Amino acid sequence: METKYLHTIYFEDLAAAALSQHMAKSNYSKVFVLVDSNTKSHCLPSFAKKCGFDIDLVIEIKAGEEHKTIQTCTTVWDALSTLGGDRKSLLINLGGGVVTDLGGFVASTFKRGIDFINVPTTLLAMVDAAIGGKTGVDFEALKNQIGVINQPEMILIFSDFLATLDKRQIRSGFAEMLKHGLILDQGYWNELIQLKDFDQSKSHIKRSTEIKSGVVEADPFEAGLRKKLNYGHTLGHAIESYFLMEANRETLLHGEAIAAGMILEAYLSHELTGLSKLELDEIKRVFLDYYGKISFDDQEIESIIELLQHDKKNTHGKVNFVLLNSIGKSIVDIKIAPELLKKAFAYYAQE
């Protein structure tokens, strides 16, 4: 596995130094920082201190997945244009997954592409969203329907931003870390489930970035290996989309939705790809302990299964899953009939 890609992720003090060096050699005409209403107040001042240059071109978007839309892109393109952005401008995305996904897409398409740097401020973005070059926005409540794959110049991880998050958000990011263990590294899974406190997850960020970026490096356009990162996401995304659309359902955080997805897909793995009953029950117990249980009625389950048809991973009308052979070992491109999905929801619901 090549290591070129890994070298673009920098941590803590080294990140600040790497940024200074990059700026010195790049001769950018203008440097824009994209923030949302939260990161503007909680992260921008400390980022400005860390990065050691004046930040005067700040573009702000509203916080929250419901603003990850083409309409928001339009306001950012407009701001870049109005503030005199050109092809040699740089966009620094300072925020969670919404800011890094949307900002990456805006940069990749402004004047057919300008440089961008991701500075993730949530655990979820640090271990997942900010890495790998998947940029984009939601479209008609379908997650990430519009976007491109394009890599940032660098990814800078400052773990002290995590102090600005509430426990629910940390827990959401932690779900992606657990996923890294489930799909590729049983030892890592075992380490993580023994943590006494989410705050301890901080010291494991580097391991998760290594797993994610190693996979992306080997398969940037998702021909095979990279698909493993979608474990829990086929049903998880459908659940997340459903909650986003339904006015009477509170929006789920991404990690909360994929936690449910990972239990459901563990059930499918037990039925189809050899995951033992013991490991299945362990996975269910771990995720229910951390994330609690969501109640779905029959009508909702139908709607969620209907939404699966729009999942980007599906082609030719079939629903494609990543499943586990065992904890730490996964397999891609398993096609599944809708009936079995209902059984998975039944297993999820049972005591």
Chain positions contacting a second copy, by CB under 8 A? 29, 70, 73-74, 77-78, 81, 84, 86-88, 105, 108-113, 134, 136, 139-140, 142, 144-149, 309-310, 312-317
Neighbouring-strand partners of residue 9? 155
The nearer residue to a second copy, 109 or 159, going by C-beta atoms, is: 109
- For the record, the structure tokens of 254 come out as 């991404």
Is the Cβ–Cβ distance between 261 and 291 less than 8 Å?
Answer: no
Whether 134 is catalytic is yes
Annotated catalytic residue within 176, 256, 265, 279: 176
| CA 100 to centroid of chain Cα atoms | 9
Nearest distance in Å: CB 18, a second copy: 24
Of the residues 22, 50, 68, 134, which is catalytic?
A: 134
Min separation Cβ 3 and a second copy, Å: 25
> Residue 319 has what DSSP assignment?
P
Torsion of CA 159, 34, 171, 50, to 10 degrees: 10
Looking at beta carbons only, is 52 or 84 nearer to a second copy? 84
Catalytic one among 171, 237, 270, 313? 237
Report, in Å, the least distance between residue 314 CB and a second copy: 6
Residue 230 appears among annotated catalytic residues: yes
Cβ proximity to a second copy: between 147 and 255 the closer is 147
Q: Which two tokens stand for residue 350?
A: 């049972």
Minimal distance in Å, beta carbon 148 to a second copy? 6
Is residue 233 annotated as part of the catalytic site, yes or no? yes
Output the six-digit token pair for 57. Answer: 């071109």
Question: Whole-angstrom Cα distance, residue 123 to residue 158?
Answer: 10
What's the maximum distance between 2 C-alpha atoms anywhere in the chain?
60
Closer CB to a second copy, 34 or 156, in the complex: 34
For a second copy, the closer of residues 148 and 163 by Cβ is 148
Q: Are 233 and 314 in contact (CB under 8 A)?
A: no
Distance, CA of 31 to CA of 96 (rounded, Å): 19
Catalytic member of 67, 207, 233, 270: 233
Residue of 22, 50, 67, 226 with catalytic role: 226
Select from 60, 57, 121 the least CA-distant residue to 95: 121
87 catalytic residue (yes or no): no
237 assigned to active site: yes
Nearer to a second copy, 89 or 169 (CB): 89
Q: How far is the CB of 78 from a second copy (least distance, A)?
A: 7
Contact 271, 340 (CB under 8 A): yes
- Cβ atoms within 10 A of the Cβ of 193, count? 16
Q: At closest approach, how far in Å is the CB of 164 from a second copy?
A: 30
Query: Active site includes 42?
Result: no
Contact 44, 55 (CB under 8 A): yes
Q: Write out the H or E segment, with its range, that includes residue 81.
A: helix 70-82
Q: Which of 69, 100, 347 is nearest to 235 (CA)?
A: 347
Q: Write down the catalytic residue from 50, 179, 207, 212.
A: 212
Whether 246 is catalytic is no
Query: Is 226 an active-site residue?
Result: yes
Is 204 an active-site residue? no
The whole-angstrom separation of Cα 17 and Cα 37 is 27
Q: In the block, which residue shows the tokens 């949530």?
A: 122
Choice between 150 and 325, CB closer to a second copy: 150
Question: Least separation, in Å, of the C-beta of 335 and a second copy?
Answer: 14
Catalytic residue among 93, 118, 230, 320: 230
Active site residue 316: no
Catalytic residues: 112, 134, 176, 212, 222, 226, 230, 233, 237, 254
